[in-house]
C-alpha cells in the first residue's frame, strides 16, 4: 500500500511539471481564458467604483457643470474645424502618394478604455484595460493618455503610455514605456536623429528610459522632445513620448556605445500613477 502511494507521488510530480510547462508555453491562451473568466467579477466591482465617481461629479454645483459643458462644446467645435483641415491635407497626401506610386498609409481608429487591473509587483511596467478584441483592440496597438499641458503651448495634450502586449475578448494588457520589452521607433525632430526607445527600470527613484541606435555624429540636447517615428505599421508618427534626460549640470545623459551609435536616457512624460482613462490607436485593416 505504501509503495503504491510512493508510485502515485512519483507520477504526480512529473505530471505537475509537465502541466506547469504547458501553462508556460500556452501562457497567452491561458491568459485569455483566465482573464475572460474573471472579467465579470472584476468589472462588476469596477462599475461600482465608476458609479461612485459619477455621483461625485453630480454632487458638484449645476452652474459649474454647465460652464464646463459649454467650454467643452466650444472646444469640440474648434476641433471639428481643425479636423476638417486635416482631412483635406490627408486627401492631398493620399493623392500625392497615388501619383508617386507610393503605398497608401492606413489609418488608425480610436478605442477608449479604462484601467481596471494593476499588478502591485509590476506597477509601472504593466496594467490591464477593460476593453479587448470585442472592441477591436489588437496586439501592438499604441496606448495614449491625457497629460496636463505645461506652460508652453507646444506641449501636446496626449502622451504615449505603451503598447498592447496581450489581448483577450474583454481585456487587454498594456506594456508601458517603462517595460524593458516595450520598444518604439522614435525621432528627435530638433536634432533629426532616429532611434529606438526601450523601457528601463527605476534608477535612484526616477524612471528613465533608454534610446538606442542614435547616430553617433548627432549632437543631442537635454530636454529635447521625443516623438514616435511611425516607421512601424502599428504606431502612428508624432506621438509624444518624453524628453531627453539631463544630468545635474544640465547636460544630456548620453553614452557612446560604439563607433556607429550612441545611447541617450529619456524621461517618459506619461504619469503612470495617475492614469485612469486611455486611448488605444488600432491600425485599420489594409484594403
Partner 1 sequence: MIANCSVIFLLFMMALISETISGSFGISIPLLACLVFYLASVWGWQIMLLPATVVGAVIDLVYARPIIVNSIIMPMICLLPLLQSLNKGRTTLLFYIMPGAIAGIMSTVPWLFIQIIPGFNWSILPSGILTSINAAVSGALIMPLMIIMLDSNARLLGMPTIYRAQPGKRRNTGK
Residue 257 makes contact with partner 1 by CB under 8 A: no
Q: Name which of 92 and 181 has its Cβ closer to partner 1.
A: 181
Residue 203 makes contact with partner 1 by CB under 8 A: yes
Residue 272 Cβ, how far from partner 1 at the closest point, in Å?
Answer: 12
Residue 201 makes contact with partner 1 by CB under 8 A: yes
Q: Tell me which of 166, 170, 199, 240 binds partner 1, using CB under 8 A.
A: 166
Question: What is the distance between the alpha carbons of residues 90 and 138, in angstroms, rounded to a whole number?
Answer: 24
Q: Tell me which of 11, 18, 45, 72 binds partner 1, using CB under 8 A.
A: 45
Residue 47 makes contact with partner 1 by CB under 8 A: no
Are 237 and 245 contacting, i.e. CB atoms less than 8 angstroms apart?
A: no
Residue 20 makes contact with partner 1 by CB under 8 A: yes
Q: Tell me which of 7, 65, 90, 180 binds partner 1, using CB under 8 A.
A: 180
Q: Tell me which of 14, 103, 120, 287 binds partner 1, using CB under 8 A.
A: 120
Residue 213 Cβ, how far from partner 1 at the closest point, in Å?
Answer: 18
Binding site for partner 1 (CB under 8 A): 12, 16, 19-20, 23-24, 27, 30-31, 33-35, 38, 41-42, 45, 116-123, 126, 128, 165-166, 173, 180-181, 201-204
Amino acid at each position: 500500500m505504501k509503495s503504491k502511494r510512493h508510485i502515485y507521488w512519483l507520477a504526480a510530480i512529473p505530471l505537475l511539471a509537465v502541466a506547469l510547462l504547458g501553462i508556460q508555453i500556452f501562457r497567452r491562451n491561458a491568459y485569455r481564458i483566465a482573464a475572460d473568466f474573471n472579467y465579470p467579477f472584476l468589472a462588476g466591482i469596477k462599475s461600482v467604483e465608476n458609479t461612485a465617481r459619477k455621483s461625485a461629479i453630480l454632487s458638484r454645483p449645476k452652474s459649474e457643470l454647465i460652464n464646463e459643458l459649454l467650454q467643452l462644446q466650444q472646444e469640440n467645435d474648434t476641433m471639428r474645424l481643425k479636423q476638417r483641415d486635416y482631412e483635406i491635407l490627408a486627401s492631398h497626401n493620399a493623392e500625392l502618394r497615388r501619383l508617386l506610386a507610393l503605398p497608401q498609409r492606413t489609418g488608425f481608429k480610436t478605442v477608449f478604455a479604462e484601467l481596471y487591473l494593476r499588478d502591485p509587483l509590476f506597477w509601472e511596467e504593466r496594467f490591464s484595460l477593460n476593453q479587448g478584441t470585442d472592441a477591436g483592440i489588437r496586439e501592438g496597438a499604441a496606448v495614449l493618455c491625457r497629460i496636463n499641458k505645461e506652460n508652453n503651448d507646444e506641449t501636446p495634450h496626449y502622451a504615449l503610455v505603451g503598447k498592447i502586449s496581450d489581448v483577450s475578448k474583454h481585456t487587454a494588457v498594456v506594456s508601458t514605456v517603462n517595460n524593458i520589452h516595450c520598444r518604439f521607433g522614435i525621432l528627435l525632430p530638433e536634432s533629426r536623429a532616429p532611434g529606438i526607445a526601450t523601457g528601463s527600470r527605476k534608477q535612484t527613484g526616477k524612471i528613465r528610459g533608454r534610446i538606442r541606435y542614435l547616430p553617433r555624429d548627432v549632437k543631442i540636447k537635454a530636454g529635447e522632445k521625443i516623438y514616435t517615428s511611425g516607421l512601424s505599421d502599428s504606431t502612428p508618427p508624432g506621438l509624444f513620448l518624453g524628453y531627453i534626460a539631463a544630468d545635474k549640470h544640465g547636460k544630456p545623459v548620453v553614452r557612446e556605445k560604439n563607433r556607429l551609435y550612441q545611447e541617450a536616457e529619456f524621461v517618459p512624460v506619461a504619469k503612470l500613477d495617475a492614469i485612469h482613462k486611455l486611448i488605444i490607436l488600432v491600425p485599420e485593416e489594409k484594403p
